[in-house]
Structure 1
Amino acid sequence: MSPAAKTHTPRIIFVRHGQTEWSKSGQHTSVTDLPLTDFGVKQMRNTGKHLIGSSPFQMIKPEDISHIFVSPRTRARHTAELLTEDVDDIQKARIPIIVDEDIREWEYGDYEGLLTKQIIDLRKKKGLDQDVDRWIIWRDGCENGETHVEVKSRLDRFISKIKEIHAEALRTNSKSDIIVVAHGHILRCFAARWVEREINIDPSFMLDAGGVGVLSYQHHNVNEPALFLAGAFVCPVEEEGADL
């Protein structure tokens, strides 16, 4: 690479799937394979139009996308399709779309379909959580579902895959934006593990249905993972647009 060449730092753009009936009501949804609502379809189609494209005002350039990883659930897969709907067919054909079990939602077990209040009441009736204020998924996990230890294990495995791809991109100074489409709890855990935080406590991250976040690296170094505050959103001035 010549001294004048621009250094490209890889990114992960993570997207929570669009609205479903249960995300709208607040019910815990992991293995239940719900479709997007009509609003969710419009929401993610519109997000794709504004997020991905050749304009300097669009955060992701189609030619920079190296991979798309998506949860196996229908709501996530449909979201990925909607996000890339306007991407040129030739560009789309070269991007591998990988369905990955490691980014499926936290498995809620007996709490599938329940509201948080219902889970707290259920556990109280069973005599659980007597030594704490209330149930917290990060610490307590889910009966007949997953614990934070199990979730951490599969996310760390997924992060290793991402870093292998990005290490090679950094070595060759190649562009490598990776899009990850998944779910509310698992993506908050993913962001926490990316910056090496434990997930047995609430990471205090919020991510609405259809929400977007960005992860990357400080100093172009794969060993310095970082959270991109404000989602890497910038408003370019005309003469600088080509550099963004």
Structure 2
Amino acid sequence: MIVETPRQGCPIDGETVTAVPQDGKSLVSGNKKSKTSPVNPKVFILRHGQTEWSEIGKRTSFTDLPLTEKGRTLVQRSASTMLGTGKLIDPSKLRKVYVSPRLRAQETLKLLDLPESVPVETTELLREFEYGEFEGMKTSDIKKLTGNDKWETWIDPAPGGETPQQVSDRIDELIDLVRTRHHQLSFEHEEEALEKPDILFVAHGHILRGLGARWIRLDIRHARGLQLDAGGVGVLAYEHGSIEEPAITRWNLIQ
């Protein structure tokens, strides 16, 4: 299956993109028999606002840069149109927020001005792809340095950083956490989980693009087709009310 680059603000290729298990295994740990849910629990993903490095395409993992003024403005504008009662992200339906420990993600979350009643957890699982010796470099510079004009984040490891497989494994751990600790409760018709079924991730471009690919059980290399701009929002959910059919329903929404 190939994921095409999505049109901004639209479902990919105009339709929901869904994963169906091909090996007979459940997507939920423990191989529990799944039920359908009267609600469609979601994971909303939000890439942090613009920084000086993201504006010019420099790789940023552990370098703790603040948002630019443009980045703060974009996040606030997106929050005003997409977050609120009856809007895309309804705080009253948020079960929990997970955020990267990096300053740019923490600042982005703060600008959302969520109610204090919404639980927030900072997690290393959402830290950005670790670029090692390629930290602060553009793709064009990496290609020159390595002599490999086909060098790609999703395929080639960075010296001193994470391999794509290590990042994929980290993402899978995060997905398993969401499905078993949160979404499965909605499919089991647990009352509180039905009232507050949704999760919000605030993190970084590459880790969230990788999450999109792995959510629908694609190899992480397919994340190359999931552009996610600074301040972009995506929606990960399920089709046919089934936890066995994870889907991307919206991607790269920008206001």
Give the shorter-chain TM-score range. 0.7 to 0.9
Shift of 1:232: 9.1
Corresponding residue for residue 7 of structure 2: none
Distance 1:41 1:229 in 2: 23
SS across alignment from 2:240? helix
Corresponding residue for residue 18 of structure 2: none
SS across alignment from 1:44? helix
Corresponding residue for residue 77 of structure 2: 46
Corresponding residue for residue 242 of structure 2: 221
Corresponding residue for residue 182 of structure 1: 203
**Bigger shift: residues 22-31 or 37-46:** 37-46
Corresponding residue for residue 162 of structure 1: 178
Q: 1:204 aligns with which of 219, 225, 231?
A: 225
Corresponding residue for residue 91 of structure 2: 62
Corresponding residue for residue 31 of structure 2: none
Q: Superposed, which structure 2 residues align to 1:46-195 within 5 Å?
A: 46-54=77-85, 56=86, 58-83=87-112, 85=113, 87=114, 92-124=115-147, 129=148, 133-164=149-180, 165-171=182-188, 172=190, 173-195=194-216
**Cα deviation 1:137-162 (Å, max 9, x = unaligned):** 11112111110110011110000111
With the length of structure 1 as denominator, give the TM-score of the two structures.
Answer: 0.83
Corresponding residue for residue 30 of structure 1: 61
Shift of 1:230: 5.5
CA RMSD, 1 decimal: 1.8
With the length of structure 2 as denominator, give the TM-score of the two structures.
Answer: 0.79
Matched residue count: 213
Structure with the larger helix share: 1
Q: Which amino acid aligns with 1:22?
A: W
Corresponding residue for residue 21 of structure 1: 52
The answer to whether the 8 Å contact 2:232/2:253 transfers is: no
Shift of 1:209: 0.5
